[in-house]
Amino acid sequence: MINYRNKNKFLHSYKQYLQLVNNKATFIDIARCIDPACVEQPWNRLKFIADEFGIPRVVQIWTKNPGDVLRRGQHLLNEFRKDGTIVICQLTVTGFGPEFEPRVPWPVDWQGIDMMIDFLGTPRALLWRYDPVIPGISDLGMFEYLVRNFAQRGITRAVYNRGEYGLELVRKRMGHLYHRIDFTLDKNILSHEIEQTGRDHGIEFLVLAEGEQLAKPLNVSSRGCWQYEWLVQASDSFPSRDFLPGVFRPGCICAPSFDIGHDGQYEHCHGCVYCFAV
């Protein structure tokens, strides 16, 4: 639950967000810094916001465990959907396994992924994140297996991204695994292999906007993941472009969204060794 002091701070930031999006284009991230499959806190906050301000226009789920997300949040999300909220999902699947992601379902939980696609109503509402790509550790054989399986499920959009390996926190979390990163690998070749394999199976891969600096030297397309075109494909009821507030998240072309999670919950999340959340 939200304690009194945090509640005021939380209310204040949400009101600021409402102003930014003209009180209408409300896009909630559940959640960027904690997987909502792991804890109740982001669900409590989502409910709190809806009770105080009305339901959001879009709820975007961020997860590595769609089965547990649905177990925790399906009921609430269904309530919102009855009143018109659009639900979309950014699903991260890397294929690293428990050495790198100790509490992420392994082997890949295709059953949970199918449940999520069913819940969303269309594979177009699910964006696959192949994130992070770690040179020397990301396995292109595994990647191709993932591409084939996502393609069979009708997924046509995906994004990939690089990690932040320079951070002391990440080096510490990775421990001996850090030495397996191959900094000599040509990132350009890796990027083009990812994009080409995707194209071969009908999946369009974009490098995330955080990779802007990467995109320039590499000559690959750098875009945001929250594109208007995606939302329109995900739901027939998404309004015209005029609905959007005309401002963007800093550093990318995504619509501004509000992250319902908060820091300090790494211990309760999946324990990914490359994580830079505190």
Contact positions vs ligand SF4 (CB under 6 A): 33-35, 64, 266, 269-272, 275, 277
Find, among 262, 258, 263, the residue nearest to 58 by Cα: 258
Whichever of 100 and 205 has its CB closer to ligand SF4, that residue is: 100
Whichever of 25 and 89 has its CB closer to ligand SF4, that residue is: 89
- Let me know: does 209 contact 223? Beta carbons within 8 Å: yes
Whichever of 64 and 157 has its CB closer to ligand SF4, that residue is: 64
Secondary structure (DSSP) of 32-83? SSS-TTT-SHHHHHHHHHHHHH---SEEEEEES-HHHHHHHHHHHHHHHHHT
Find, among 55, 65, 63, 64, the residue nearest to 24 by Cα: 55
| φ and ψ at residue 35, rounded to 5 degrees | -75, 125
Q: Closest approach of Cβ 259 to ligand SF4, in Å?
A: 11
Output helix, strand, coil percentages for the chain, rounded to the nearest 5.
45, 15, 40
User: What one-character DSSP code corresponds to residue 251?
Assistant: T
Q: Closest approach of Cβ 131 to ligand SF4, in Å?
A: 9
Surface-to-core class of residue 119, CB atoms within 10 Å of its CB (0-12 exposed, 13-18 middle, 19+ buried): buried
- Let me know: does 256 contact 249? Beta carbons within 8 Å: yes
Q: Closest approach of Cβ 270 to ligand SF4, in Å?
A: 4
Whichever of 105 and 124 has its CB closer to ligand SF4, that residue is: 105
Whichever of 97 and 271 has its CB closer to ligand SF4, that residue is: 271
Find, among 127, 154, 149, 138, the residue nearest to 193 by Cα: 138
Whichever of 34 and 134 has its CB closer to ligand SF4, that residue is: 34
Q: Closest approach of Cβ 35 to ligand SF4, in Å?
A: 5
Q: Closest approach of Cβ 275 to ligand SF4, in Å?
A: 3
* Residue 50, CA distances (Å) to 40, 46, 115 in order: 16, 6, 25
Residue 52 CA to residue 196 CA, distance in Å, equals: 47
Whichever of 26 and 94 has its CB closer to ligand SF4, that residue is: 94
Q: Closest approach of Cβ 132 to ligand SF4, in Å?
A: 9
Q: Closest approach of Cβ 208 to ligand SF4, in Å?
A: 14
